[in-house]
Amino acid sequence: MIIDANTLLETQEHRFQYCILGGGVAGITLANELLASGKSVCIVEGGDETFTMESQSLYAPTKKPKTYEDTTYNRLRFLGGSSNHWENSTSEFKPSDFKVKSWIEHSGWPIEYKDVQPFYKRAAQYCGTGTDGYETKYWAKTLDKKDVLSDSTMIGSNIVKAAIPPVHFFAKHGQSLVEASNVTIFKNANLTDLEFDQASSIVKQIVFTNYSGVKQLVTADKFILCLGGIENARLMLVFNEKYENSLGNSSDCVGRYFMDHPVLRAAKLYPEDKDKLSLYTMRKEVGDRLLNGFIEISEDALISKELSNIRVPLAPASHYVISEGIESFHVLGTAWDDKELPDNFGQHVVNVLSDIDMVTEAISRKAFGDKLFDYSEDFGGYDLPIMIEQTPKRDNRVYLSDEVDAQGMKKILIDWTLHDDDIARMWGSLEVLGKELGRLDLGRLKVMREYEERLRTDKLFFSHHHMGTTRMADSQESGVVDRNLKVFNTQNFYIAGSSVFPTGSHVPPTLTIAALTIRLAEHLLEEVSV
């Protein structure tokens, strides 16, 4: 059943056994996993069933971060959450992702790969990507492709899978919840307050407010916050202001260790033989799934060379637009051919001039002639749009401003930097990659150190993978939730989503979000049965 909070004209008290705050990937997955228990479940979602500006505007920060992106629209605030606009790219974390790395401060999870691995196949079913795994070895055999990196100890490869079309979680998995007698979904219901009994360490109720200002009270045995990597931190910071940091924030960890996956074209690969690399360059439809290959640093090399992960897709250079400057160059070139002035002419000129290094490189691939602005038939090697594993830094954080939104909730500010050690490890990983590709006679890697400044500017691309702001840890000295995702110093309050990730690996987080959420559901049900 769905109840539109905007139709509730008077304050009422609602009672459930499980109250899930947020109707995105984690919330929808958790509700479905709890469904068969017969326990009463509610989802409190601030948005509607479709996009509305009234709801989305509540994601606006106080101001755009200087070195990060505006977070208003890169996450979506309605049922299904950001799965409504994701590419559906999924892959598994590796065993080394969960381990302490002595050369990376704050690394290591309180759980191991084996604690998550049993849930990956069920998570893949939610994501629509199948249960046949992501290992290159399997797909090389299945697709009759040669894995030329199989004997390398320094570099390896993996597969990213996506459902066709992408799975929008509420559209795909919401109907079972709507039809269930033990599930209630409140939409247009904005979480605005929480009542916490500090003596018993129990969250007693939450308050949600509709867009007319009418409040509703929800009491429950268990509350689970599933609002995403930024919003989880925001609400936890608001509640901790009220309760003097007693909700998992005794060490000021809430909002800190904010991570994303920055993407930079920092290298090009000129292959000896394109066909040898076909397993890693493919974009192949297999049934209702799209498979993409990529190259990575091996786990052995990560440890022996003290590096961090990079994900290296191989994109044909002539088909990968890298910057606003090149895009504007194409627009101006087309306008020249058509003998007409384009819209926003001045801005296009500024884009080209501010990005002249990359525009010059693009021009150098072409002889001046009729096809100066046409790169469609060229093969200029492979661009490497590298996804960087950003390591956890305490000073990268989401925090509160004094400005409030339309619901009276404090807005966020973001401090974010890609630190020098992350940059240095990326160059180190590329050095390993280049040497090994050369040793295997697979091609020549051109590392473009001249673009390092882009790692410190707003010209970076971001993956919108918001992670780490309510991290999992063995103690509240270094985190916000324990290994079972329960908020420290509480008895019945949990957090699910990428905000609990202590580190972020180098692959999209959604599959692991779903796997951890399924694990949480089993834990919650085990607690009830004890």
Domain at 51, CATH number: 3.50.50.60
Cα 322 to Cα 277, 280, 313, 328, 353, distances in angstroms: 22, 20, 14, 11, 15
Residue 62 CB partners (closer than 8 Å, separation 6+): 401, 403, 411, 412, 413
Say what the pLDDT of residue 335 is. Answer: 74
**364 is a domain residue:** yes
**431 is a domain residue:** yes
Q: Which two tokens stand for residue 38?
A: 């017969």
**287 is a domain residue:** yes
Number of domains in the chain: 2
Supply the DSSP symbol for 319.
G
Cβ–Cβ contacts within 10 Å for residue 98, how many?
A: 20
Tell me the average pLDDT across 156-167.
Answer: 95
**Do both 206 and 338 map to the same domain?**
no
**Do both 247 and 268 map to the same domain?**
no
SS3 content of the chain, % helix, strand, coil (to 5): 35, 25, 45
**Do both 239 and 146 map to the same domain?**
no
Can you give the residue range of the structural domain that contains 486? Answer: 1-128+168-259+467-530
**499 is a domain residue:** yes
> Beta strands 190-197 and 202-209: pairing type?
antiparallel
How far apart are the C-alpha atoms of 350 and 239, rounded to whole Å? Answer: 45
**396 is a domain residue:** no
Q: What's the half-sphere exposure (Cβ side, CA atoms, 13 Å) at 62?
A: 16
**Do both 425 and 329 map to the same domain?**
yes
How far apart are the C-alpha atoms of 253 and 85, rounded to whole Å? Answer: 30
**Do both 89 and 213 map to the same domain?**
yes
Say what the pLDDT of residue 317 is. Answer: 67
Tell me the average pLDDT across 121-125.
Answer: 97
Please list the residues that pair with 149 across neighbouring strands: none
**Do both 186 and 320 map to the same domain?**
no
**Do both 31 and 86 map to the same domain?**
yes
pLDDT digits over 298-346, tens only?
999 999 999 999 999 987 765 444 455 666 777 787 777 777 777 777 7
pLDDT digits over 385-397, tens only?
899 999 999 999 9
pLDDT digits over 44-69, tens only?
999 999 999 999 999 999 988 888 88
Domain boundary among 436, 459, 482: 459
**405 is a domain residue:** no
Q: Are 61 and 412 in contact (CB under 8 A)?
A: yes
User: Tokens 């904005």 — which residue?
Assistant: 190
**Do both 151 and 281 map to the same domain?**
yes
Q: With CA atoms as reference, report the closest residue to 160 among 470, 521, 463, 522.
A: 463
Tell me the average pLDDT across 419-441.
Answer: 95
Say what the pLDDT of residue 362 is. Answer: 63
**Do both 430 and 475 map to the same domain?**
no
Q: Are 86 and 510 in contact (CB under 8 A)?
A: yes
Whether the per-residue pLDDT at 145 is higher than 80: the answer is yes
Is the pTM value of this prediction over 0.85?
A: yes
**Do both 100 and 187 map to the same domain?**
yes
**124 is a domain residue:** yes
Confidence grade of residue 369 (pLDDT, cut at 50, 70, 90):
very low
**Do both 358 and 505 map to the same domain?**
no
Domain boundary among 402, 435, 459: 459
Q: Are 504 and 467 in contact (CB under 8 A)?
A: yes
Domain boundary among 404, 433, 459: 459
Cβ–Cβ contacts within 10 Å for residue 316, how many?
A: 15
Supply the DSSP symbol for 90.
B
Burial of 529 (0-12, 13-18, 19+ CB in 10 A): exposed
Helices (H) and strands (E) in the chain, counts: 15, 19
Q: With CA atoms as reference, report the closest residue to 108 among 484, 479, 519.
A: 479
**409 is a domain residue:** no
Q: Are 58 and 188 in contact (CB under 8 A)?
A: no
**Do both 117 and 150 map to the same domain?**
no
Say what the pLDDT of residue 457 is. Answer: 67
